[in-house]
Amino acid sequence: MIRTVSGGVCAAKGFKAAGIHCGIRKNREKKDLALIMSSVPASAAAVYTTNLVKGAPLTVTQRNIADGMAQAVICNSGNANTCNADGIMIAEQMCALAADALGIRAEDVIVASTGVIGQPLSLMPIAAGIAPLAAALSVDGSSDACEAIMTTDTKQKEIAVEFVLGGKTCRLGGIAKGSGMIHPNMATMLVFLTTDAAISPAMLQKALLGDIQKTFNMISVDGDTSTNDMVSILANGQAGNAEITAEGADFDAFMQALNTVNIFLCRSIAADGEGATKLLECVVNGAKDEAAAKAVAKSVICSSLTKAAMFGEDANWGRVLCAIGYSGAEVDVDKVGVRFSSSAGNVEVCRDGAGVPFSEELAAQVLHESEIEILISLGDGDGSATAWGCDLSYEYVKINGDYRT
């Protein structure tokens, strides 16, 4: 049984977090430096963007956790530290500053940055802020850390769950940021997960890599894959369960908890897409296989015309069929069915590849809600998948038209 608890990344035993404004961002009311720490060294795993242009922090993090261990996470917002000549040095120094303040090894620090690409990142505000940041570490600090990693986000994205492994109560929590440049093919945006479950580094990496295929890899806000996307997880074993070193019942239970947290964060990120007014969830059933279902779901979520129609509350189902058709999946179009659903009701708009009479009034009511399901049946097999996205509004262009300046 999995139940939601409070605490975010501090819900698990042995974790503290903090977030402060150190001066990277001009607005003093916006926190811009976050820290998460485990009381003991922890198993560590991460997945990174597939963009060939990668932020320097990802390179340093990948090297630091090559041994499968870490103890802290430091992250700044306001500057991505990407495409900078001194980027690697800056990322390494961030790790060193955190390590000195915490009394741990620099090689045991995960480092991340988010914000504008191609602008130099000064170490001065980080160096000045690291002592007060470390002093602010608290079991109540998850929300502050969550706020400090936000850029164009309008809402904090934070969750924790409790579950049982081998008779021991365990917790797993996470914080995330992401609103624009959301089209991952590995992980997404920035997501930091913590757990007090005992699990080996190899199995932790297997769990994370396996779950993101059905969660973070199934989100799209705008079709742009970020240079700094990373999902990382620390597992410090403080719950006292027998260490998970192989697949089995405990691994399955851990995967279920991880999936619960990740789906919540996925939905939160998609709902908070830049300029978004609606969360879109595309559920595909009856595909030839899971790969086909994923291709169709992602294609529909990524369709700019479909996203625009959802913003305009227009039941233009032809755009959904169009996106299915160019998805690359093998589909018998004559078997396709489409429904739009929300808390206001359910309306069938397409059956066997052709339109059916429906109430435009009911459709408008359904599409007026803030969460909309696009339900697709393909009639070709047992494959299924779900993808998340958002509508495309005027505000998206406004936000990104002057993002750098």
Q: Which amino acid belongs to residue 147?
A: E
Provide CATH 3.10.20.340 ranges for the chain: 279-401
Instruction: Show the CA angle centred on residue 268, arms to residues 265 and 273, nearest 5°.
Output: 125
Rounded distance, CA 135 to CA 18, Å? 9
* Contact call for residues 205 and 211 (beta carbons, < 8 A): no
401 backbone dihedrals φ, ψ, rounded to 5°: -65, -30
Which parts of the chain register pLDDT below 50? 186-188
pLDDT at position 187:
45
- b/e per residue 220-258 (b: at least 16 CB within 10 A): bbbeebbbbbbbbbbbbbbbebebbeeeeebbebbbebb
pTM: 0.89
What pLDDT, on the 0 to 100 scale, is given for residue 275?
A: 81
CB count in 10 Å sphere of residue 365:
16
Closest to 88 measured CA to CA, from 60, 66, 54, 126: 60
Domain 3-271: assigned CATH number: 3.60.70.12
Residue 356 three-state SS: coil
pLDDT number for residue 188: 46
Contact by Cβ (8 Å): 73, 40: no
188, 194, 215, 225: the active-site residue: 188
Mention the CATH class of domain 279-401. Answer: alpha beta
Span(s) in the chain for CATH 3.60.70.12: 3-271
Closest C-alpha to 219, from 255, 262, 258, 257? 262
3-state secondary structure 260-304: HHHHHHHHHHHHCCCCCCCEEEEEEEEECCHHHHHHHHHHHHHCH
Q: Which two tokens stand for residue 259?
A: 């999936």
Cβ–Cβ contacts within 10 Å for residue 371, how many? 13
Q: Which residues, at least 6 apart from 23, have a Cβ–Cβ distance to it below 8 Å?
A: 32, 124, 125, 128, 129
Helix, strand, or coil here: 362? helix
Q: Which residues 6+ apart lie within 8 Å of 378 measured at CB? A: 284, 285, 286, 287, 288, 292, 293, 296, 331, 332, 335, 336
Say whether 188 is catalytic. yes
Do 371 and 281 contact (CB within 8 A), yes or no? yes
* Angle between helix 304-311 and helix 317-325 axes, rounded to 10 deg: 160
pLDDT value, residue 178 = 80
204 contacts 43 by C-beta, under 8 angstroms: yes
- E strand or H helix at 97: helix 87-102
Predicted pLDDT at 222? 61
**Cβ atoms of residues 131 and 107 within 8 Å:** no
Question: For residues 173 and 161, what is the distance between their CA atoms, to the nearest angstrom?
Answer: 6
Can you tell me which residue has the tokens 């001194």? Answer: 86
Q: Is 36 helix (H, G, I), strand (E, B) or coil?
A: strand
124 CB burial (10 A radius; 0-12, 13-18, 19+): exposed
